[in-house]
Amino acid sequence: MILSTYNKEDKVLLAVDCIIFGFLKDELKILLVKRDFEPEKGKWSLIGGFLKKIENLDKAAIRILHHLTGLNNIYMEQVYTFSKVDRDPAERTISVAYYALIDIATHDKELLKQNPIHWFNLKDAPKLIFDHNRMVEKAMARLRRRALSKPIGFELLPEKFTMRQLQKLYEAILDTKLDKRNFINKFNSFDILIKLEEKDMSSSKKGAYLFKFDQEKYNRKVEDGFNFKI
């Protein structure tokens, strides 16, 4: 009836791979890196690395993201652990996928320095190594579920944004068109936005009012959850 004793033979390498979502110009994007070591050197890949003995997975994800992008204080969440036996042909590795949400407009300068990384539109991202495309799908499904059950946007939009941007973000995540009036009515019913005096003049002559999130109310809604259905 003994099920297990610690058996050093079965030790494996644990990888962390990051699905980094961003949003810019009405498009959902994903940050990829050109892999510079074997196997699959030169191909596009998620940003990843290995868990070290002295850290937990959340810390590893933060470290790996920081190391490859210079970014700090980024929202990250564990998605799923992938373990197909031959997923990495070079060595038995298991990989824990994390997704990150980034406001590209704010962070782009830090990122541009970093050489072999690149933002792709999610829709025309290249084929990735190993099982990374499956990871992206799974993370995307998670992001979609999150958008339906809690407010989203704080991590992906600049501090000030227009209603149109917010709507386009939801449309990109949910992959659907939404009615302008219904969207605004619905979102206002959550009571987490603050309307500013300022206008954004970049996309129309008339200008569109800027909004920001009421951080406290936003957080409360993230805790409590809601049902976004529109």
Q: Given the rule CB under 8 A, which residues bind a second copy?
A: 1-15, 36-37, 47-58, 64, 67-68, 78, 80-81, 83-85, 90-94, 96, 114-116, 227, 229
Q: For residue 213, give the nearest of 141, 165, 148 by alpha carbon.
A: 165
CA distance 16 to 18: 7
Q: Is 72 in the site for DNA (CB under 7 A)?
A: no
Which of DNA, a second copy, none interacts with 80 (beta carbon under 5 to 8 A by kind)? a second copy
Minimum CB separation of residue 112 from a second copy in Å reads 15
Residues 6+ apart with CB under 8 A from 79: 19, 97, 98, 99, 135, 138, 139, 142
> In this chain, which of 205, 216, 223, 224 binds DNA, going by CB under 7 A?
205
Contact 188, 221 (CB under 8 A): no
Q: Is 208 in the site for DNA (CB under 7 A)?
A: yes
Residue (105 or 147) nearer to a second copy, CB: 147
> In this chain, which of 58, 184, 190, 219 binds DNA, going by CB under 7 A?
184
Question: What residues numbered 132-161 form the site for DNA, per CB under 7 A?
Answer: none
Q: How many CB atoms lie within 10 A of CB 108?
A: 13
Contact 18, 100 (CB under 8 A): yes
Which of DNA, a second copy, none interacts with 184 (beta carbon under 5 to 8 A by kind)? DNA
Which of a second copy, DNA, none interacts with 68 (beta carbon under 5 to 8 A by kind)? a second copy
CA 230 to chain centre: 23
Contact 178, 229 (CB under 8 A): no
Q: Is 180 in the site for DNA (CB under 7 A)?
A: yes
CA distance 53 to 60: 10
Return residues touching DNA (CB under 7 A): 162-164, 179-182, 184-186, 199, 203-209, 227, 229-230
